Chains A and B, each alone.
Chain A
Protein backbone atom coordinates (compact mmCIF):
# COMPACT_ATOMS: atom_id res chain seq x y z
CA UNK A 1 0.00 0.00 0.00
CA UNK A 2 1.29 3.40 -1.01
CA UNK A 3 1.61 6.02 1.75
CA UNK A 4 1.30 9.58 0.52
CA UNK A 5 2.31 12.58 2.60
CA UNK A 6 -0.37 14.87 1.21
CA UNK A 7 0.97 18.09 2.74
CA UNK A 8 4.47 17.60 1.24
CA UNK A 9 3.83 15.73 -2.01
CA UNK A 10 0.72 17.67 -3.00
CA UNK A 11 -0.02 20.81 -0.98
CA UNK A 12 -0.53 21.89 2.65
CA UNK A 13 -3.65 23.90 1.80
CA UNK A 14 -6.48 21.77 0.40
CA UNK A 15 -9.43 24.04 -0.21
CA UNK A 16 -10.53 24.16 -3.85
CA UNK A 17 -12.88 21.71 -5.48
CA UNK A 18 -11.78 22.35 -9.07
CA UNK A 19 -10.04 24.84 -11.36
CA UNK A 20 -13.00 27.21 -11.19
CA UNK A 21 -13.17 27.61 -7.43
CA UNK A 22 -11.17 30.55 -6.04
CA UNK A 23 -7.58 30.43 -7.42
CA UNK A 24 -8.12 26.83 -8.57
CA UNK A 25 -4.76 25.65 -7.25
CA UNK A 26 -4.23 22.16 -5.78
CA UNK A 27 -7.83 21.25 -6.37
CA UNK A 28 -9.64 18.10 -5.33
CA UNK A 29 -10.12 17.10 -8.97
CA UNK A 30 -6.38 17.44 -9.59
CA UNK A 31 -5.58 15.32 -6.54
CA UNK A 32 -8.10 12.62 -7.39
CA UNK A 33 -6.92 12.36 -10.97
CA UNK A 34 -3.28 12.24 -9.95
CA UNK A 35 -3.35 9.82 -7.01
CA UNK A 36 -6.68 8.01 -7.00
CA UNK A 37 -7.14 7.35 -10.72
CA UNK A 38 -7.30 3.55 -10.27
CA UNK A 39 -10.23 3.88 -7.90
CA UNK A 40 -12.32 5.48 -10.64
CA UNK A 41 -12.81 2.00 -12.06
CA UNK A 42 -15.92 0.42 -10.57
CA UNK A 43 -14.30 -3.06 -10.71
CA UNK A 44 -11.77 -1.99 -8.08
CA UNK A 45 -14.57 -1.61 -5.52
CA UNK A 46 -14.75 -2.98 -2.89
CA UNK A 47 -11.04 -3.80 -2.72
CA UNK A 48 -9.55 -6.47 -0.48
CA UNK A 49 -6.71 -4.36 0.86
CA UNK A 50 -6.34 -0.61 1.40
CA UNK A 51 -5.36 1.12 -1.84
CA UNK A 52 -3.58 4.14 -0.38
CA UNK A 53 -2.85 5.78 2.97
CA UNK A 54 -3.06 9.55 3.04
CA UNK A 55 -0.87 11.16 5.67
CA UNK A 56 -2.26 14.52 6.74
CA UNK A 57 0.44 15.48 9.22
CA UNK A 58 1.67 18.38 7.05
CA UNK A 59 -1.76 19.56 5.92
CA UNK A 60 -2.69 22.95 7.34
CA UNK A 61 -6.07 23.58 5.75
CA UNK A 62 -8.68 21.09 4.66
CA UNK A 63 -11.91 22.32 3.16
CA UNK A 64 -15.25 20.60 2.66
CA UNK A 65 -15.23 21.28 -1.11
CA UNK A 66 -11.86 19.59 -1.58
CA UNK A 67 -12.91 16.67 0.65
CA UNK A 68 -16.16 16.28 -1.22
CA UNK A 69 -14.40 16.11 -4.56
CA UNK A 70 -11.74 13.65 -3.38
CA UNK A 71 -13.71 11.31 -1.12
CA UNK A 72 -17.45 11.75 -1.70
CA UNK A 73 -16.89 11.28 -5.44
CA UNK A 74 -16.52 7.54 -4.75
CA UNK A 75 -19.90 7.20 -3.05
CA UNK A 76 -21.22 6.09 -6.45
CA UNK A 77 -19.08 2.94 -6.07
CA UNK A 78 -19.05 2.26 -2.34
CA UNK A 79 -20.47 3.14 1.05
CA UNK A 80 -18.63 5.48 3.46
CA UNK A 81 -16.95 2.69 5.43
CA UNK A 82 -15.66 0.98 2.29
CA UNK A 83 -14.28 4.27 1.00
CA UNK A 84 -12.37 4.86 4.21
CA UNK A 85 -11.12 1.27 4.13
CA UNK A 86 -9.66 1.77 0.65
CA UNK A 87 -8.36 5.25 1.38
CA UNK A 88 -6.86 5.21 4.84
CA UNK A 89 -6.44 8.46 6.75
CA UNK A 90 -3.22 8.74 8.74
CA UNK A 91 -2.06 11.37 11.24
CA UNK A 92 -5.19 13.40 10.84
CA UNK A 93 -6.78 15.65 13.45
CA UNK A 94 -10.28 14.91 14.66
CA UNK A 95 -11.64 18.12 13.13
CA UNK A 96 -10.21 17.29 9.68
CA UNK A 97 -11.47 13.73 9.94
CA UNK A 98 -14.94 15.04 10.84
CA UNK A 99 -14.89 17.24 7.72
CA UNK A 100 -14.06 14.25 5.50
CA UNK A 101 -16.58 11.94 7.17
CA UNK A 102 -19.29 14.58 6.90
CA UNK A 103 -18.66 14.96 3.16
CA UNK A 104 -18.65 11.21 2.51
CA UNK A 105 -21.85 10.76 4.50
CA UNK A 106 -23.62 13.62 2.74
CA UNK A 107 -22.57 12.40 -0.70
CA UNK A 108 -21.07 13.87 -3.82
CA UNK A 109 -22.53 17.29 -4.48
CA UNK A 110 -21.68 17.52 -8.19
CA UNK A 111 -23.74 15.79 -10.87
Chain B
Protein backbone atom coordinates (compact mmCIF):
# COMPACT_ATOMS: atom_id res chain seq x y z
CA UNK B 1 0.00 0.00 0.00
CA UNK B 2 2.81 2.42 1.00
CA UNK B 3 4.83 1.46 -2.09
CA UNK B 4 1.86 2.25 -4.28
CA UNK B 5 1.44 5.65 -2.58
CA UNK B 6 5.12 6.46 -3.08
CA UNK B 7 4.89 5.42 -6.70
CA UNK B 8 1.90 7.72 -7.24
CA UNK B 9 3.77 10.68 -5.65
CA UNK B 10 6.78 9.91 -7.83
CA UNK B 11 4.69 9.93 -11.00
CA UNK B 12 2.86 13.07 -9.96
CA UNK B 13 6.23 14.78 -9.46
CA UNK B 14 7.26 13.65 -12.94
CA UNK B 15 3.96 15.04 -14.21
CA UNK B 16 4.63 18.49 -12.70
CA UNK B 17 8.21 18.44 -14.01
CA UNK B 18 6.88 17.52 -17.44
CA UNK B 19 4.46 20.46 -17.42
CA UNK B 20 7.32 22.84 -16.55
CA UNK B 21 9.51 21.43 -19.29
CA UNK B 22 6.70 21.68 -21.76
CA UNK B 23 6.08 25.34 -20.80
CA UNK B 24 9.75 26.13 -21.47
CA UNK B 25 9.45 24.38 -24.82
CA UNK B 26 6.43 26.49 -25.71
CA UNK B 27 8.37 29.64 -24.77
CA UNK B 28 11.11 28.56 -27.16
CA UNK B 29 8.64 28.04 -29.99
CA UNK B 30 7.08 31.42 -29.28
CA UNK B 31 10.49 33.11 -29.23
CA UNK B 32 11.20 31.60 -32.65
CA UNK B 33 8.03 33.23 -33.90
CA UNK B 34 9.17 36.51 -32.40
CA UNK B 35 12.21 36.60 -34.67
CA UNK B 36 10.36 35.70 -37.83
CA UNK B 37 6.85 37.08 -37.56
CA UNK B 38 6.94 39.54 -34.69
CA UNK B 39 3.80 38.03 -33.34
CA UNK B 40 1.64 40.31 -31.21
CA UNK B 41 1.41 37.75 -28.45
CA UNK B 42 5.23 37.63 -28.13
CA UNK B 43 5.45 41.35 -27.95
CA UNK B 44 3.19 41.25 -24.94
CA UNK B 45 5.54 38.89 -23.08
CA UNK B 46 8.76 40.23 -24.58
CA UNK B 47 10.50 36.90 -24.65
CA UNK B 48 14.17 37.19 -25.55
CA UNK B 49 16.40 34.16 -25.31
CA UNK B 50 20.13 33.68 -25.97
CA UNK B 51 21.44 30.82 -28.16
CA UNK B 52 22.53 28.63 -25.25
CA UNK B 53 19.12 29.12 -23.63
CA UNK B 54 17.43 28.06 -26.85
CA UNK B 55 19.58 24.95 -27.01
CA UNK B 56 18.67 24.10 -23.43
CA UNK B 57 14.98 24.68 -24.02
CA UNK B 58 15.06 22.26 -26.98
CA UNK B 59 16.66 19.62 -24.76
CA UNK B 60 14.24 20.34 -21.88
CA UNK B 61 11.27 20.42 -24.20
CA UNK B 62 12.14 17.14 -25.88
CA UNK B 63 12.83 15.54 -22.49
CA UNK B 64 9.54 16.95 -21.23
CA UNK B 65 7.59 15.48 -24.12
CA UNK B 66 9.20 12.05 -23.77
CA UNK B 67 8.77 12.00 -20.00
CA UNK B 68 5.21 13.27 -20.38
CA UNK B 69 4.40 10.45 -22.76
CA UNK B 70 5.79 7.87 -20.34
CA UNK B 71 4.11 9.58 -17.40
CA UNK B 72 0.63 9.33 -18.90
CA UNK B 73 1.24 5.82 -20.17
CA UNK B 74 2.55 4.55 -16.83
CA UNK B 75 0.06 6.51 -14.73
CA UNK B 76 -2.84 5.00 -16.69
CA UNK B 77 -1.46 1.51 -16.35
CA UNK B 78 -0.91 1.99 -12.59
CA UNK B 79 -4.44 3.33 -12.17
CA UNK B 80 -5.80 0.33 -14.08
CA UNK B 81 -3.76 -2.10 -11.97
CA UNK B 82 -4.91 -0.39 -8.76
CA UNK B 83 -8.56 -0.58 -9.74
CA UNK B 84 -8.18 -4.21 -10.90
CA UNK B 85 -6.51 -5.12 -7.58
CA UNK B 86 -9.27 -3.33 -5.69
CA UNK B 87 -11.92 -5.36 -7.53
CA UNK B 88 -10.01 -8.61 -7.04
CA UNK B 89 -9.62 -7.84 -3.33
CA UNK B 90 -13.34 -7.27 -2.83
CA UNK B 91 -14.15 -10.48 -4.75
CA UNK B 92 -11.80 -12.49 -2.55
CA UNK B 93 -13.34 -10.90 0.52
CA UNK B 94 -16.74 -12.07 -0.74
CA UNK B 95 -15.44 -15.64 -1.16
CA UNK B 96 -13.97 -15.47 2.34
CA UNK B 97 -17.28 -14.22 3.76
CA UNK B 98 -19.13 -17.06 2.01
CA UNK B 99 -16.71 -19.63 3.43
CA UNK B 100 -17.35 -18.28 6.91
CA UNK B 101 -21.10 -18.27 6.31
CA UNK B 102 -20.93 -21.95 5.30
CA UNK B 103 -18.82 -22.57 8.38
CA UNK B 104 -21.55 -21.17 10.64
CA UNK B 105 -24.07 -23.58 9.06
CA UNK B 106 -21.66 -26.53 9.43
CA UNK B 107 -21.17 -25.66 13.09
CA UNK B 108 -24.94 -25.79 13.57
CA UNK B 109 -25.12 -29.19 11.87
CA UNK B 110 -22.23 -30.65 13.85
CA UNK B 111 -23.63 -29.30 17.11
CA UNK B 112 -26.96 -30.94 16.22
CA UNK B 113 -28.91 -27.70 16.25
CA UNK B 114 -31.37 -29.05 13.69
CA UNK B 115 -34.67 -29.85 15.39
CA UNK B 116 -35.85 -32.26 12.70
CA UNK B 117 -34.96 -33.71 9.29
CA UNK B 118 -36.61 -30.87 7.45
CA UNK B 119 -34.45 -28.33 9.22
CA UNK B 120 -31.35 -30.45 8.66
CA UNK B 121 -32.12 -30.73 4.94
CA UNK B 122 -32.69 -27.00 4.78
CA UNK B 123 -29.25 -26.40 6.35
CA UNK B 124 -27.64 -28.75 3.83
CA UNK B 125 -29.42 -27.00 0.99
CA UNK B 126 -27.99 -23.73 2.31
CA UNK B 127 -24.53 -25.29 2.24
CA UNK B 128 -25.03 -26.38 -1.38
CA UNK B 129 -26.16 -22.90 -2.33
CA UNK B 130 -23.13 -21.28 -0.70
CA UNK B 131 -20.51 -23.65 -2.12
CA UNK B 132 -21.98 -23.77 -5.64
CA UNK B 133 -22.18 -19.99 -5.42
CA UNK B 134 -18.49 -19.78 -4.51
CA UNK B 135 -17.47 -22.07 -7.39
CA UNK B 136 -19.66 -20.35 -9.99
CA UNK B 137 -18.28 -17.05 -8.78
CA UNK B 138 -14.71 -18.36 -8.92
CA UNK B 139 -15.35 -19.69 -12.43
CA UNK B 140 -16.32 -16.18 -13.55
CA UNK B 141 -13.67 -14.14 -11.77
CA UNK B 142 -10.77 -16.59 -11.79
CA UNK B 143 -8.73 -14.62 -14.31
CA UNK B 144 -9.31 -11.32 -12.57
CA UNK B 145 -8.38 -12.75 -9.18
CA UNK B 146 -5.44 -14.62 -10.78
CA UNK B 147 -5.60 -17.75 -8.65
CA UNK B 148 -2.88 -20.34 -9.12
CA UNK B 149 -3.64 -24.05 -9.47
CA UNK B 150 -2.71 -24.67 -5.82
CA UNK B 151 -4.88 -21.80 -4.61
CA UNK B 152 -7.81 -23.08 -6.68
CA UNK B 153 -7.31 -26.57 -5.27
CA UNK B 154 -7.29 -25.19 -1.72
CA UNK B 155 -10.70 -23.59 -2.32
CA UNK B 156 -12.07 -26.72 -4.00
CA UNK B 157 -10.85 -28.95 -1.15
CA UNK B 158 -13.31 -27.46 1.35
CA UNK B 159 -16.47 -28.57 -0.43
CA UNK B 160 -14.86 -31.86 -1.39
CA UNK B 161 -14.15 -32.53 2.30
CA UNK B 162 -17.66 -31.42 3.33
CA UNK B 163 -19.31 -33.67 0.72
CA UNK B 164 -17.35 -36.66 2.06
CA UNK B 165 -18.39 -35.94 5.60
CA UNK B 166 -21.36 -38.19 6.31
CA UNK B 167 -22.56 -36.27 9.37
CA UNK B 168 -22.28 -32.84 7.80
CA UNK B 169 -23.60 -33.67 4.37
CA UNK B 170 -25.36 -36.98 4.08
CA UNK B 171 -26.80 -39.05 6.90
CA UNK B 172 -30.16 -38.51 8.55
CA UNK B 173 -30.61 -37.15 12.07
CA UNK B 174 -31.10 -40.51 13.88
CA UNK B 175 -27.90 -41.91 12.33
CA UNK B 176 -25.81 -38.99 13.57
CA UNK B 177 -22.60 -40.18 15.26
CA UNK B 178 -20.83 -37.76 17.59
CA UNK B 179 -17.43 -39.56 17.46
CA UNK B 180 -17.40 -39.54 13.67
CA UNK B 181 -18.58 -35.95 13.74
CA UNK B 182 -15.52 -34.93 15.77
CA UNK B 183 -13.17 -36.55 13.25
CA UNK B 184 -15.04 -34.90 10.40
CA UNK B 185 -14.87 -31.55 12.17
CA UNK B 186 -11.10 -31.92 12.49
CA UNK B 187 -10.65 -32.71 8.77
CA UNK B 188 -13.05 -29.98 7.75
CA UNK B 189 -11.27 -27.31 9.81
CA UNK B 190 -7.92 -28.25 8.30
CA UNK B 191 -9.27 -27.62 4.78
CA UNK B 192 -11.19 -24.51 5.84
CA UNK B 193 -8.11 -22.97 7.44
CA UNK B 194 -6.06 -23.63 4.29
CA UNK B 195 -8.77 -22.05 2.12
CA UNK B 196 -9.09 -19.07 4.45
CA UNK B 197 -5.31 -18.63 4.55
CA UNK B 198 -5.29 -18.70 0.75
CA UNK B 199 -7.90 -15.91 0.59
CA UNK B 200 -6.25 -13.80 3.28
CA UNK B 201 -2.77 -14.19 1.78
CA UNK B 202 -4.06 -13.24 -1.64
CA UNK B 203 -6.00 -10.24 -0.29
CA UNK B 204 -2.85 -9.09 1.53
CA UNK B 205 -0.72 -9.48 -1.59
CA UNK B 206 -2.99 -7.26 -3.71
- Contacting residues, chain A, for B142 (C-beta < 8 A): 93-95
The answer to whether B125 and A95 have CB atoms under 8 Å apart is no
Determine whether the beta carbon of B138 is less than 8 Å from that of A21.
no
Residues in A neighbouring B159, C-beta threshold 8 A: 63-64, 99
Q: Does B93 contact A (CB under 8 A)?
A: no
Instruction: Using CB atoms, name the residue of chain B closest to A15.
Output: B128
Interface core residue of A60, A65, A96 (most chain B CB under 10 Å): A65
Task: Give the contacting residue for A65; candidates B153, B157, B163; CB below 8 A.
Answer: B163
Determine whether the beta carbon of B157 is less than 8 Å from that of A102. Answer: yes
- Interface flags, B120-151, vs A, CB<8A=1, else 0: 01001100100010011011001000000100
In angstroms, Cα B152 to Cα A89, docked, is 18
Is A41 close to B, CB under 8 A?
no
* Assembled-state Cα–Cα distance A62/B132 (Å): 8
Report if A68 contacts B (CB, 8 A): yes
> Are B139 and A22 within 8 A (Cβ)?
no
The answer to whether A95 and B128 have CB atoms under 8 Å apart is: no
Q: Using C-beta atoms within 8 Å of the partner chain, give the interface range for chain A.
A: 20 to 34
Question: A33-46 vs B: 1/0 string, CB under 8 Å?
Answer: 00000000000000
Residues of B within 8 A of A64 (CB): 156, 159-160, 163-164
A18 and B135 alpha carbons, distance in the complex (Å): 21
- Measured between beta carbons, the chain B residues less than 8 angstroms from A65 are 163, 169
Q: Which residues of chain A are near B163, meaning CB under 8 Å?
A: 63-65, 68
Residues of B contacting A68 in the complex (Cβ-Cβ under 8 angstroms): 163-164
> Hey, which chain B residues are within 8 Å of A94, CB to CB?
142, 149, 152
- The complex places the Cα of A96 from the Cα of B152 at a distance, in Å, of 10
Q: Are A99 and B164 in contact (CB under 8 A)?
A: no
Query: What A residues does B125 contact at CB under 8 A?
Result: 22
A99 touches B139 (CB 8 A): no
- The chain B residue sitting closest to A98, CB to CB, is B156
Are B152's CB and A95's CB within 8 A?
yes
- Asked if B170 contacts A96 (CB within 8 A), the reply is no
Contact A61–B170 (Cβ < 8 Å): no
The smallest C-beta distance from A107 to any residue of chain B, in angstroms, reads 10
Contact digits for A57-84, partner B, Cβ 8 Å, 1 yes 0 no? 0001111110010000000000000000
CB<8 Å pairs between A and B, sample of 21: A21-B170, A22-B128, A60-B136, A61-B135, A61-B136, A63-B163, A64-B159, A64-B163, A94-B152, A95-B135, A95-B138, A95-B139, A95-B142, A95-B152, A95-B156, A96-B139, A99-B135, A102-B153, A102-B160, A106-B160, A106-B164
Chain A positions within 8 Å of B, measured between CB atoms, are 15, 21-22, 60-65, 68, 93-96, 98-99, 102-103, 106, 109
